[in-house]
Chain A
Amino acid sequence: MKKISYPLVLTSILLASFLVFMSLAGCTKTATTTAATTTTTTTTTVQPIKTYTVGLLAELTGFLGSYNTATVNEAQIAVDMVNENGGVIVGGQNYNLKLVVEDGQSTLDGTTAAANKLIFNDNVKIIIGPDAYFNSAVSGLCEQNKILHIAGYCTMQPGEMDATTTYTFLGQAASINYFTGALAYLKANYPNVKTVALAMPDDGSIPYFGAAVQKMVQAAGYTVAGSIIGYNNSAVDFSPYAAKIIATGADAVICCSGIALPNGSILKDVRDAGSNMLFVICNSTIPTDNIKVAGTTESTNVVDCSAAYIGCPNPSAILTEMIQRYQLLVGNSNAPLVTLEYANPIWELGHVLNQANSFDPAVLKNTFSNMTSIQTLYGPGTISGLKTFGINQAVSYQLPITTITNGVPTFQTWEPALVP
């Protein structure tokens, strides 16, 4: 017996009209809200100032959500600073930069969708971002559609940045640079260290990033004890991994998670298990965060190569201004900078645009890769990376080395940290 499913008919009609209504409404709406509410001041020049829109791909929801919301705030400050310095001058016309932000939802397909939206819906020709390992979703798309792509992070997975992604640049010294800095410092100051254990998040990057790091460590003259120890970034307890690290019997262990929780937890568990082996942290997490997670008594005999943080001596003038503005924005005079992984590329973009005197991505990419030096928010930077990435499009600048003893971080030196 065949019954008429009234619900089925009615809801199909409802669904169709619903879809029509949604798309009608969605068509006219473009996502142009920025995270921060700051007023952009425009400098008065003789000609009227136009605005040029740049796309920013951030992970505003998901596990990177709260982190990226803060970095987007910093990015907006960088845009304001660029505009207040006269904006960019292209073809004799003054332009102020404007950001359109799309959310990558901390997933690969969310980032792909956001990239599609930026390119096809918002019609941008320059994309800043994304974070972590999501570049593989964006670089190929930018290459296909000739969009300039300045990334904020790179984990060296296939498709992120290599010889084929000619439109992709790495604007922030992210991930591999910290190893360069730390190894140089180790070589100079810890001659007793001969064997090194490597601990990294087991998120699929070990065959690529881990292999590159292993080569780098061996090239610096150290022996890698055992194989790379891969840990689950979201494990509840890290003590089994700490036990495994201690069992390798190495003189030092290098730990490089991008978030403070695994770094601090493994440090804590290694110390609690009674081992005082040298602990090296190589990533953008600031030393005070690692100390917070690990506890003061456990944070000892630690070398930390991180991004520049508040408290480093002689920061560049522009970094000081950035810090002040950020603390003013969040209303907290002690707020730490997150990392400038979207702000730094924007600052560099300003310089590239002025030098290239064009908005054409093809011209921009040639100018960028041929620049011998570039001004970053952290100070002067160089463009390199041919040996590491296969293409000469990564920005390197000096990184601070901090040692931690009994929970007290002490700044040691600025390492050049040039990526070969």
Chain B
Amino acid sequence: MVVKGSMIAAPNSNTHRKNLIPAIGYGAVICLLACLPLIFKSPYILHLFILTLIYIIAAASMRFIMTSGQIPLAHAAFLGLGAYVSAVLSKHVGLSPWLALIIAALVSMCVGIAISFPFARLKAFYYAMISLFFGVGLLQGIESLGKLTGGLAGITSIPTLFSTGSKVPYYYVFLALTIISLAILYRFESCRIGWNLKAIDQSYLVSSSVGISEVKYRVIAVAIGCFFVGLAGGMYANYNVTISPSSFDTTAKLWMIIYVAIGGTNDFAGPIIGTAVLFLIPQYFSGLKQYTPFVSAAVLFAVIFAFRDGLVSIPRLIRTRYQRKKVKVQTDDS
């Protein structure tokens, strides 16, 4: 058992200043994001932001599972599961949408645990394929329950979280939910659970020899990841009023992994920046109508060939090049 205190450096006079800079940074960003609805009144822009927030939660939770070395290709299907559970509960059963949200997240978590437990020992590729099949099967299963879920045509008139037509309350609530979810995920990742997951990723043999149960921690990772993506799905359903299987299909699954991979899997900020870039840029170019997918592909190629580790590695690359220049200058002088 590792005592938390021994791994953390003892606080010294610098700690407050070191903690202050990121805190101010995050605070400024949060304030800026909170002020956005006041600056941009257009409901369409708010709609885009709200969708971005939902996908950020989904992508961040996907990356959290990926830190353990497994790639959950079914993640968009869990988003769909959360959406459908929340929709059916709030529309057909009549529960309050808020309650339906929480239950959707819990259901998603349970299904995630059920599917990952038997397969937790597998290597990345095999788990990815099984996850993909499960995702496809789950979505087809949802689609085939025609009477309940409306089949291909989906569900409409889902009860909304707020009865006003304005999107502003949605934006604030979702912003709050996103920040809370990201904070919780970050906390998980930087505490013991996260370290154990990274250890399992690096070498399952060594970590099991140290006493870190591979199955237990991977299942925990999937449980947490699926909880948040189920929550995101429920948010999506109760905001969008309509859902259909086509938004969670194989293409969506693959694009979700692109959001994470382009952003960068090595850092927590990766999925955030990846989602924002790859989701918002095609929207900006939506005037091109049928040529818009080419823009997405171009961005994809540009990033993957230029920045292998994703967009999030740009600051590090700049810093290392700057440091290299600094060192070079020093060695020239001496």
Is the Cβ of B290 less than 8 Å from the Cβ of A13? no
> Does more than half of chain A's interface fall in helix, strand or loop, or is it mixed?
helix
- Determine which of A9, A20, A106 lies in contact with B25 in the assembled complex, contact meaning CB atoms within 8 Å: A9
Interface residue ranges of A1-59 to B (CB < 8 Å): 1-2, 4-16, 18-20, 22-23, 25-27, 29, 31, 33, 35
| Interface-lining segment among A199-207, A219-227, A334-342 | A199-207
Is the Cβ of B273 less than 8 Å from the Cβ of A26? no
What residues on B are CB-neighbors of A324 within 8 Å? none
**Whole-angstrom distance between the Cβ of B44 and the nearest chain A Cβ:** 4
- Determine which of B21, B52, B143 lies in contact with A204 in the assembled complex, contact meaning CB atoms within 8 Å: B143
Q: What's the interface size class on B, roughly?
A: 35 or more
Is the Cβ of A136 less than 8 Å from the Cβ of B156? yes
How far apart are the CA atoms of A35 and B291 in the complex, in Å?
12
How far apart are the CA atoms of A101 and B267 in the complex, in Å?
40
How far apart are the CA atoms of A267 and B319 in the complex, in Å?
65
Is the Cβ of B246 less than 8 Å from the Cβ of A107? yes
| Interface-lining segment among B32-40, B93-101, B108-116, B208-216 | B32-40
Q: Check A327 for interface membership: any CB of B closer than 8 A.
A: no
How far apart are the CA atoms of A204 and B243 in the complex, in Å?
14
Which A residue's beta carbon lies closest to that of B33? A16
Interface residue ranges of B46-104 to A (CB < 8 Å): 47-49, 52
Q: Check A61 for interface membership: any CB of B closer than 8 A.
A: yes
| Interface-lining segment among A115-123, A188-196, A307-315, A390-398 | A115-123
Contact A7-B49, Cβ < 8 Å, known A61-B290, A61-B292? no
Q: Check A60 for interface membership: any CB of B closer than 8 A.
A: yes
Q: What's the interface size class on A, roughly?
A: 35 or more
Q: Check B241 for interface membership: any CB of A closer than 8 A.
A: yes
How far apart are the CA atoms of A20 and B32 in the complex, in Å?
9
Is the Cβ of B277 less than 8 Å from the Cβ of A112? no
Q: Check B146 for interface membership: any CB of A closer than 8 A.
A: yes
Q: Check B8 for interface membership: any CB of A closer than 8 A.
A: yes
How far apart are the CA atoms of A1 and B319 in the complex, in Å?
22
Which A residue's beta carbon lies closest to that of B151? A204
| Interface-lining segment among B129-137, B197-205, B280-288, B323-331 | B280-288
How far apart are the CA atoms of A26 and B39 in the complex, in Å?
13
How far apart are the CA atoms of A101 and B21 in the complex, in Å?
47
Q: Check A409 for interface membership: any CB of B closer than 8 A.
A: no
Is the Cβ of B28 less than 8 Å from the Cβ of A136? no
Is the Cβ of A23 less than 8 Å from the Cβ of B40? yes
**Whole-angstrom distance between the Cβ of A214 and the nearest chain B Cβ:** 15
| Interface-lining segment among A154-162, A166-174, A280-288, A411-419 | A154-162
What residues on A are CB-neighbors of B273 within 8 Å? 11, 14-15
Q: Check B272 for interface membership: any CB of A closer than 8 A.
A: yes
Contact A140-B29, Cβ < 8 Å, known A19-B276, A19-B280? no
Is the Cβ of A7 less than 8 Å from the Cβ of B316? yes
What residues on B are CB-neighbors of A29 within 8 Å? 284, 287
Is the Cβ of B269 less than 8 Å from the Cβ of A5? yes
How far apart are the CA atoms of A246 and B281 in the complex, in Å?
51
What residues on A are CB-neighbors of B312 within 8 Å? 7, 11
Is the Cβ of B242 less than 8 Å from the Cβ of A112? yes
Contact A112-B29, Cβ < 8 Å, known A4-B22, A11-B272, A19-B49? no
Q: Check A367 for interface membership: any CB of B closer than 8 A.
A: no
What residues on B are CB-neighbors of A155 within 8 Å? 153
Is the Cβ of A12 less than 8 Å from the Cβ of B153? no
Q: Check B1 for interface membership: any CB of A closer than 8 A.
A: no
- Determine which of A7, A23, A144, A207 lies in contact with B267 in the assembled complex, contact meaning CB atoms within 8 Å: A7
What residues on A are CB-neighbors of B277 within 8 Å? 18
What residues on B are CB-neighbors of A2 within 8 Å? 8, 19, 190
Which A residue's beta carbon lies closest to that of B44? A121
Interface residue ranges of A95-151 to B (CB < 8 Å): 101, 103, 106-110, 112-113, 116-117, 120-121, 133, 136-137, 140, 144
- Determine which of B18, B29, B165, B289 lies in contact with A103 in the assembled complex, contact meaning CB atoms within 8 Å: B289
What residues on A are CB-neighbors of B42 within 8 Å? 27, 120-121
Is the Cβ of B152 less than 8 Å from the Cβ of A61? no
Which B residue's beta carbon lies closest to that of A117? B44
Q: Check B162 for interface membership: any CB of A closer than 8 A.
A: no
Is the Cβ of A23 less than 8 Å from the Cβ of B36? yes
Instruction: Supply 4 further A-B pairs (C-beta < 8 A) apart from A7-B313, A13-B29, A204-B151.
Output: A5-B22, A27-B42, A27-B45, A205-B153
Sampled A-B contacts (20; CB under 8 Å): A5-B22, A5-B267, A7-B312, A7-B315, A8-B269, A11-B273, A11-B311, A16-B28, A19-B276, A27-B40, A33-B289, A35-B289, A62-B246, A103-B289, A108-B244, A108-B247, A112-B240, A112-B241, A112-B242, A204-B151
Rank and list the top 7 A-B pairs by shortest CB-CB distance, nearest first.
A204-B151, A108-B244, A203-B152, A107-B246, A9-B25, A8-B269, A11-B269
